[in-house]
Structure 1
Amino acid sequence: MSEHKRELILAAAREIFEAEGLEGASLRAIAARAGYTPAALYFHFPSKEAIYAELLLISLSALGDAIRQAASGLAAPQEQLRAAAMGFFSFYFARPRDLDLGFYLFHGGMRPAGLGPDYDEVLNAALTAALSPITEAAEALGTSVTEANMLTADIFAHAVGLLLLAHTRRIRLFGAAPQSLMEAHLDDRLSKIGERRRREV
């Protein structure tokens, strides 16, 4: 498939997914939006799930790049962790539709969703790789592998909660800025890690 044709199909698919959700989309509709026949589309993508997975992999790759770039050039693990976590937050704050893509929120709202075991395994691995700078910085601070993973999960959950409040504008109820709340959460977590390390010395 030519790169131009691939980009046209993916752009058309994203429009259809945003309008109809994964369940409501069809390869026929995607083909029509892209200007191709369904047969031509089937030749390159076996299913709409395959196209959705490709879109999500592209998004997760961009997320990983943003996180790594945010933390690059910083020597102290504390600074790396803070910058990587804020890179994650800032990526989705600026690109709310990518958050919708990652959580399968197009048209369907919040509910358990996935693309099947094979695709889900690949996508989960891509998300883990994107978040790895946070986990690695936590380990560099002296946490165990388990603790670093738990801290990454904590940061992930807190960021997504704030992003949900921000994008639905519910954050206004609290008169608070989501970025400031995220930074305060990171301050608290880093402070607790520092206190524990001082006790262990």
Structure 2
Amino acid sequence: MVGKRQSRREAVSEHKRELILDAARQIFAEEGLDGASLRAIAVRAGYTPAALYFHFESKEAMYAEVLHASLESLGSAVDQAVSRTKTPQQKLKAAALSFFQFYAANPRDLDLGFYLFRGGMKPAGLGHDRDVRLNAALEAALRPIAEAAIALGAPQERANLLMVDCFAHAAGLLLLLHTGRIRMFGASAPDLMEAYVDERIAQLVQE
């Protein structure tokens, strides 16, 4: 009986936690990290601000959980795309394009990922331990790019640089896409991303 009561309490606690995170996700999407308040999150979740502290120590802790969930979804999307391919060339292309496509389809997740530049171009984190965990999740989502490059014969350092290059290229195109600036150039962000990846793969194969 005691075990059942404990399990029931844990289930209720987990349900409340998820409700709070859902509310936080909505408020962060609307207001950003700096603009969001614990009171607004509590009201959206249907709790008092004090109740939030039973589950999260701070607004930053909530943001980190929301962002980590987003990065895990990104990683899953990349892994699924890569699993449907066979050759290293296909895997590299699938990994890079699925990374781009995830954020192209989910601009709010892209906003979450750029929390480091809140308040302008001044990098700020969510606390050392949280930043390490989040960076590891992002690196895990990008890692299939490097792994495919290594399978094509690239040394580790070159493969890591390609992973960073793909991330930077995708981020730039996504910025142009979601702000509408890409229309100034009469170009297609997805087409440019695919052409870039094809070019990098061709370079690796020729070396």
Determine whether 1:68 maps to 2:82.
no
- What are the residue-to-residue correspondences of 1:3-152 with 2, within 5 Å? 3-104=14-115, 108=119, 110-152=121-163
Whether the 8 Å contact between 1:56 and 1:102 is mirrored in structure 2 is yes
Residue ranges of structure 2 left out of the alignment (5+ in a row):
1-11
1:21: Cα distance to partner?
Answer: 2.0
Given that 2:81 and 2:95 are in contact with CA atoms closer than 8 Å, whether structure 1 keeps it comes out as yes
CA displacement at 1:106 relative to structure 2: 9.5
Pick which of 157-166 and 32-41 moved more. 32-41
- In the TM superposition, residue 108 of structure 1 has moved relative to its aligned partner by 4.5
RMSD of aligned Cα (Å): 1.7
One-letter amino acid of the structure 1 residue matched with residue 203 of structure 2? K
CA distance in 1, matches of 2:42, 2:23: 8
Please give the alpha-carbon distance, in whole angstroms, between the structure 2 residues aligned to 1:10 and 1:23: 17
Q: Count how many residue pairs are aligned between Structure 1 and Structure 2.
A: 196
* Alignment CA distance shift 1:120-1:104 (3 Å): same
Is 1:189 aligned to 2:200, yes or no? yes
Partner amino acid, structure 2, of 1:140: A
Deviation at 1:153, TM superposition (A): 0.3
On the 8 A contact 2:72/2:137 being kept in 1, the answer is: yes
Q: Distance in 2 between matches of 1:75 and 1:44?
A: 44
Question: How does the TM-score come out when normalised to structure 2?
Answer: 0.89
- The runs of at least 4 aligned residues of structure 1 exceeding 6 Å deviation read none
Structure 1 residues 47-93: Cα deviation after superposition (integer angstroms, max 9, x where no partner): 11110000011000000000011111312100000011100000000
TM-score by structure 1 length? 0.92
Conservation of the 8 A alpha-carbon contact between 1:19 and 1:107: no
**Percent of residue pairs bearing the same amino acid type:** 66
